[in-house]
Amino acid sequence: MTGVGRSSETKGSCVTEEPTAGAVHGGDSGLGWPGEPDEDPRPETFSTGLGWPAERDHPQTGPGFPHPAVTSADAEEPSAVSRETPRDGDREDVPEDDHDGQAAPDTEGRDEDVSRETDDPPPALVDTVARARVIRTAADLAGVAAPVHDDSTPLARVAEDTIRARREAANRPPMPRPDATRIVVVANQKGGVGKTTTTVNVAAALAQLGQRVLVVDLDPQGNASTALGVDHQRGVPSTYEALVDGAELAGLVSPVPDLPLLEAVPATIDLAGAEIELVSQVARENRLRRAIAGHPRVGTAEAAGEDRYDYVFVDCPPSLGLLTLNALVAGDEMLIPIQAEYYALEGVGQLLETVEMVKAHLNPGLVVSTIMVTMYDARTRLASGVAQEVRDHFGDQVLRTSIPRSVRVSEAPSYGQTVMTYDPASSGALSYLEAAREIARKGAPR
């Protein structure tokens, strides 16, 4: 064997570990190992053999190299344009016929059609695309965003409606005043039907309509005082002094912020023990009646003058105890809020029985003049069914306006306001305003 790691005679029987096996050398190793190269150390041919591959420091350009497309760092720098897409200057003329003798498709006319269909984009679009390409941060995005003073957005329209409603609330045309003070008792022994909410919002709506209104808080929880923004901490003169101590009601009145025609007599926690303290009193059920009748601004136009109260609303606790009894004896008419649910209907029957007993023995002039459906949800069949049943049973006593469920109505007391001043454009405020108009138009019961 001379100079060749594998000869034709020993094919398949002689194995060498020389990575450059198969290359022709000038020396002879005798044991299969290559000798020193005579002139050029670079092999002219390449064979993988079965040994370790040669280190590829340089491009392999020999005819035996299996990957002729691979080049090294020392090779010529590749062009920026792919060989498959030659530059316009280097593009060769393409023959009209392909290799199979078929004519190349005529694309000239098609290019013209495309150019006619795709006209140049408008300058505004080009400017928008250009600005969008340079946006990198939120500040850049804010710089190219639409102006925030656009009055066509839904949020801007809602804000505009709210501002307009607030202005109109302060300048609503006044309703005709009644000939004498109407004393309205808001009662229902069922809790959570909206007695306090109805009392304060109807009173505030009437005050916005030019009526002089007084709210008497007879609930020891003092929620009506909270909603009207009146202080009712322990020690504040309240309805407790009027019932137990016989104080004059005129000295217990507090003004309501933002509503100059509305005043209130607050309730404190001391009122919770008033029922026990009144047990031993004589004519204990007439205490509130005497206190209201003794107020100089309660009465007819001839007796009390133009500064009289047009409405006195008494907010009752959710029970049929002595406090509610005092209110029923003191009032001329009743307003019963009914929640649009089945449980509220059961309580109305018991309340009407109590009203009949009061009329028979203590206050013959008491009349159930108004029934209001509250917390009405038009999406449910239950609410529609309850409202229809109430209207079928009580007829014209039920107001045409139902008070819908509204988050704004629930939020307002947390700010010490009624919904009429908190959000006059909300559905709850508009409904209470329409209900107040109905009550004013109906007038006092005959």
Write down the pLDDT at residue 106: 52
Least confident of 34-38, 120-124, 253-257, 291-295: 34-38
Closest C-alpha to 369, from 435, 316, 439, 310: 439
Average pLDDT score over residue span 392-403: 92
pLDDT at 71: 47
pLDDT at residue 174, rounded to an integer: 82
Q: C-alpha angle 395/397/399, rounded to 5°?
A: 100
More confident residue, 132 or 269: 269
Q: What is the mean pLDDT of residues 363-369?
A: 93
Q: What is the mean pLDDT of residues 166-186?
A: 83
How confident is the model at residue 3, as a pLDDT?
44
The 10 Å CB-count burial string (b at 16+, else e) for 420-444 is: bbbbbbbbbbbbbbebbbebbeeee
Asked if the model's pLDDT at residue 61 lies above 70, the reply is no
Burial track 141-172 (b if 16+ CB lie within 10 A, e otherwise): eeeeeeeeeeeeeeeeeeeeeeeebeeebeee
> Hey, which of 3-7, 98-102, 201-205, 337-341 has the most confident mean pLDDT?
201-205
* More confident position, 146 or 270: 270
Whether the pLDDT of residue 359 is over 60: the answer is: yes
Read off the pLDDT of residues 307-316 as tens digits, 9 standing for 90 and up: 999 999 999 9
**Crossing angle of helices 342-361 and 381-394, rounded to 10°:** 20
Instruction: Provide mean pLDDT across the span 46-71.
Output: 52
Domains defined for the chain, CATH in brackets: 12-73 (no CATH), 178-442 (3.40.50.300)
Q: pLDDT tier at 348 (50, 70, 90 boundaries)?
A: confident
pLDDT for 73-105, tens place per residue? 444 455 455 555 555 545 445 444 444 445 455
Report residue 327: phi and psi, to 5°: -65, -40
Mean pLDDT for 59-66 is: 52
Residue 278 CB-half CA count within 13 A: 25
Give the global pTM.
Answer: 0.64
| Better pLDDT: 120 or 348 | 348
The answer, yes or no, to whether residue 432 has pLDDT greater than 50, is yes
pLDDT digits (tens, 9 = 90+) for 315-337: 999 988 899 999 999 999 999 99
Residue bearing tokens 């329409």: 434
Give the per-residue pLDDT at 175. Answer: 86
Q: Answer yes or no: are the C-beta atoms of 38 and 46 closer than 8 Å.
A: no
- The pLDDT score that the predictor gives to residue 206 is 95
Per-residue pLDDT at 12: 45
Residue with the bigger pLDDT between 144 and 120: it is 120
Q: Which residue has the higher pLDDT, 382 or 84?
A: 382
Q: Which amino acid is at 406?
A: S
User: What pLDDT, on a 0 to 100 scale, did the predictor assign at position 183?
Assistant: 96
pLDDT confidence of residue 41: 53
Mean pLDDT of the chain: 77
pLDDT band at 35 (very low <50, low <70, confident <90, very high): low
Work out the percent of the chain whose per-residue pLDDT is above 70: 65
Give the least confident one: 106-110, 310-314, 404-408: 106-110
Three-state SS sequence of the chain? CCCCCCCCCCCCCCCCCCCCCCCCCCCCCCCCCCCCCCCCCCCCCCCCCCCCCCCCCCCCCCCCCCCCCCCCCCCCCCCCCCCCCCCCCCCCCCCCECCCCCECCCCHHHHHHHHHHCCCCCHHHHHHHHHHHCCCCHHHHHHHCCCCCCCCCHHHHHHHHHHHHHHHHHCCCCCCCCCECEEEEECCCCCCCCHHHHHHHHHHHHHHCCCCEEEEECCCCCHHHHHCCCCCCCCCCCHHHHHHHCCCHHHHCEECCCCCCEEEECCCHHHHHHHHHCCCCCCHHHHHHHHHHCCCCCCEHHHHCCCCCCEEEEECCCCCCHHHHHHHHHCCEEEEEEECCHHHHHHHHHHHHHHHHHHHHCCCCCEEEEEEEECECCCCHHHHHHHHHHHHHHHHHECCCCCECCHHHHHHHHHCCCHHHHCCCCHHHHHHHHHHHHHHHHCCCC
Q: Tell me what percent of the residues of the chain surpass a pLDDT of 90.
A: 43
Q: For position 130, what pLDDT does the model report?
A: 67
- Region 231-253 average pLDDT: 91
Report residue 85 as tokens. 């897409």
